[in-house]
Amino acid sequence: MRADFLNSEPETPNAEIEVDPAAPDRFFNREMSWLAFNWRVLEQVDDERTPLLERVKFLSISGSNLDEFYNVRVAGLRAQTRAGVEGRSLDGRTASQQLQMVDQQAAALQDAQQRTWTSLRPLLAKQGIHVVGLSDLTVNDREALAARFNAEVFPIMTPLAVDPAHPFPFIPNMGLGIALHLRHRQNHETLTGLLLIPPYLDRYWRLADNPEGTIRFLPVEELLLLHLDELFPRFEATERCLFRVLRDSDLEVEEEAEDLMREFETALKRRRKGRAIRLKVSSDAPADLKGLIADQLEIDRSEMIEVEGVVGITDLSQLIVDDRPELNWVPYQPRLPERVRDHNGDIFAAVRQKDMLLHHPYESFETVVQFLQQAARDPNVVAIKQTLYRTSKGSPIVKALCEAAEEGKSVTALVELKARFDEAANIQLARELERAGAQVVFGFVDWKTHAKISTVVRHEGSEMVTYSHFGTGNYHPITARFYTDLSMFTCSRNHGRDAAKIFNFITGYAEPSGLEAVKISPLFLKQTLIECLEVEIAHARAGRPAQVWAKMNSLFEGEVIDALYRASQAGVRIDLVIRGICGLRPGIKGLSENIRVKSIVGRFLEHSRIVCFGNGHGLPSEGARVFISSADWMDRNLNRRVETLAEVTNPTVHAQIIDQIMAGNLRDEAQSWVLQPGGTYVRAEAPPGDELFSCHEFFMKYPSLSGRGRSGAADAPRLTQVTDKAEAPHAA
């Protein structure tokens, strides 16, 4: 299977699969497409080129992904089913039909996760890493564990009896517990007991290494059973059931909430008590204990999953130790842009010279942090505006904004309270910013503000100059170490003026008009994409080159997919790199024979959103139109969120995206799966003796074009050879 889209032609379309261009089955099912993505994550565990502990990490990620999928997506489908909602998905299925498909596929995925763990254990053991049981403990182990149990565990554990006088307690989302049948050692009375494991207790407790240096872990549930006498004195366990609860984690907010922050705090409390939608129990537990837990949680037996193996695959990440670096990827040190160093660290001077694009994590996110820190301390800076969707705990960006506000600068921070699973953290940072004197706004009640924009207004001579940053990822220094994203810095007047209009829209509902370099959803972004596709269609029909390259996390918006189908039917060549969900069927004769789709899953999580339109010149070309975006091509992003689509006008940045970033992704084979017309993904395989090209390794090895300084860009190779010398659009 050819995964190198850069240097190969589309294959002959599949004549066996016929799809009516007007029928719902022209789309793949969203939920099944997501599950297919998580299968790709799990398949990374089988890749022997990946270091062993990184393979454990991929297994853990596949587990946490599946849990979150049930928390949010499946919870929504079950709610629709209970409410009798008759609406159908884009591919024509009811919620109940989708649930049936999902449960079957998720069960297969869960079984595969357990088989994968079974195959990993002997490999870990061979490297001296073991998960042990009570029978493996030495006398010294037991003595050391007793001391730790009494100091760290006993004070926070609350053993519970379950009877009419002691009602079954509330168990939070992701709550892990042990239900027990207990028998008194003297009078043989029986008791049903419950041990809820606090979430801040490690799931795997590292024991002292033995003289050979073997690393050993004991599961926390085994530790509790070892010290059951201290939790339930004079009782012994006759039967047990380990279980984990997943709850509906969707969050609803009253539309007319007067104080949005207070309303979200209330909503977060409601979510912690959301309906139980999935119960995982150890398969060897007695039926009455499993039934008791299910009944108390008011969960249907069909939503109770018996697990033969590890309950809580996601917790296996705790086995990834720092003292075995040879079993992890060699740490990568991001590059700092030379151009900034050439200007003695002055980012404003570097950007004044020309636009600059950073490709994270290959180039350090620290430059973005320094941009705001420099702005906070620069006496010529008068105003900073910033969106914050997700950021890190103790964020240096938030600290810089607070410092700027305390220095008397005008600071406006758009904090998105609806950033799923980060709502509580964002409430806290909003209060921190308000205390420092920043103007904090929360955007729209109906729409999430997912755009990634920062502007700094600086007094220079007799004018005010706006420095803008547009990103494809969050202002999050931690995830920027392993998410691939783009950061574009510019002092272009058009970009700065558009950014100001967008902030005014968010803060004061002033709908922007006359946007030139930046389009936003839900107002103009989808329309712009479709219009650009229509331009490509016109070029194709006129016999001119017509081509589209795009990269994103997910594609599932009906109007956009239909526009892509129309473009394919007109003869436009379309190559898509889509990491996760894809609702488009590629390679079908008469529908999508000119469309290819692949997914890259590897060391770094592909997160950047890019689209390149040939604009009558084909690709690669200096005459192409190139955009970076915060938005995936999903219904939510294009129709219910504030997102940005920023056009690249600087020739060097333009070349960097086409000739390096997009070309590298299109050429990648080592981490690529190619989507087939029937919905399966086929992984690229190397011929005997050949080595597959890895875009991640390429980007780690070679510098980018726009970050080069006085040393020049001769060692920043281009993976394409641009032959069309048409003038770059709006060249800056």
Residues assigned a catalytic role: 450
Closest by CA to 46, choosing from 105, 127, 119, is 119
Distance between CA atoms of residues 623 and 728, nearest Å: 5
Q: Residue 40 has which token pair?
A: 């790709």
Residue by residue, DSSP assigns 238-293 as: EEEEEEEEEE-------TT-SSHHHHHHHHHHHHHTPPEEEEEEETTS-HHHHHHH
What is the helix, strand, coil percentage profile of the chain, to 5? 40, 20, 40
Residue 603 Cα distances to 484, 669, 695, angstroms:
10, 14, 10
Question: How is 459-520 classified by DSSP, letter by letter?
Answer: EETTEEEEEEEEESS-S-TTGGGTEEEEEEEE--HHHHHHHHHHHHHHHH--------SEEE
The Cβ of residue 505 has, within 10 Å, a number of other Cβ atoms equal to 19
Q: Which residues pair with 363 in a beta bridge?
A: 335
DSSP bridge pairs for 596: 575
CA 564, CA 569: separation in Å to the nearest integer?
A: 9
How far apart (Å, rounded) are the C-alpha atoms in residues 577 and 552? 6
- Which residue has 């960006």 as its token pair? 397
Q: In 3D, which of 698, 712, 634 has the Cα closest to residue 670?
A: 698
**DSSP 8-class letter at 388:** E
Cis peptide preceding 169, ω within 30 of 0:
no
- Rounded to an integer, what distance in angstroms lies between the CA atom of residue 75 and that of residue 654? 43
The CA distance from 261 to 263, in Å, is 5
Phi/psi of residue 219, each to 5°? -60, 145
